[in-house]
Amino acid sequence: MSTLNPTEKKYRVWIIILATVIPVVVAILSRIKLKDFGFDVEPLTFLPAIYATINGITAIVLILAVVAIKKGNRKTHERLMKTAITLSVIFLLLYIAYHMTSDPTSFGGEGVIKYVYRFILISHILLSIIIIPLVLLTYVRALAERFDKHRKLARITFPIWLYVAITGVVVYLMISPYYIH
């Protein structure tokens, strides 16, 4: 087992905290309805299209970041990765806002497509939880200038994050006909 450098040590506790707290907070807040607490808020039914678009943009940004680093453009890669992280944070905030103001939407498809949808949705959710510590650790390894370890972990992080971003769009497209407006 390798030793951590000071930067990695500095962020280790934060990675553990965020990787644990974010999924728990998202799960809790997305089940709380503001109307149940007396808040008179309109359902933010326009948000799913926006956060699905953010997922699509995140996928493109991730691909561009990989292209940039393969071309040796580290600064562009760094900016694009910070953009991807920012987009993911914005997605989470919009996702929570939607679910706190709107009733859940059930998928109305029948037959095989219902099982396809469920597989995509469940894999998307599980991998979206797994990707949090992977992204944070990959980012910290770059900050710590442990580029050998960063590169090795990024080879795992990238395809999972890309899958989560793309399946976020697919889930939206599959369930969007069933949204109540």
Instruction: Express each pLDDT in 61-112 by its tens digit.
Output: 999 999 999 999 999 999 999 999 999 999 999 999 999 999 888 999 999 9
Q: What is the pLDDT of residue 4?
A: 80
Q: What is the pLDDT of residue 104?
A: 86
pLDDT, greater one: 30 or 121: 121
Q: What is the pLDDT of residue 170?
A: 98
Going along the chain from its start, the domains and CATH numbers come out as 12-178 (1.20.120.80)
Mean pLDDT of 9-27: 92
Q: What is the pLDDT of residue 2?
A: 63
Q: What is the pLDDT of residue 7?
A: 84
Cβ neighbors of 180 (< 8 A, separation 6 or more) are: 45, 103, 105
Per-residue pLDDT reduced to its tens digit, 109-150: 999 999 999 999 999 999 999 999 999 999 999 999 999 999
Question: Which pLDDT band holds residue 30 (cuts at 50, 70, 90)?
Answer: confident
Q: What is the pLDDT of residue 1?
A: 53
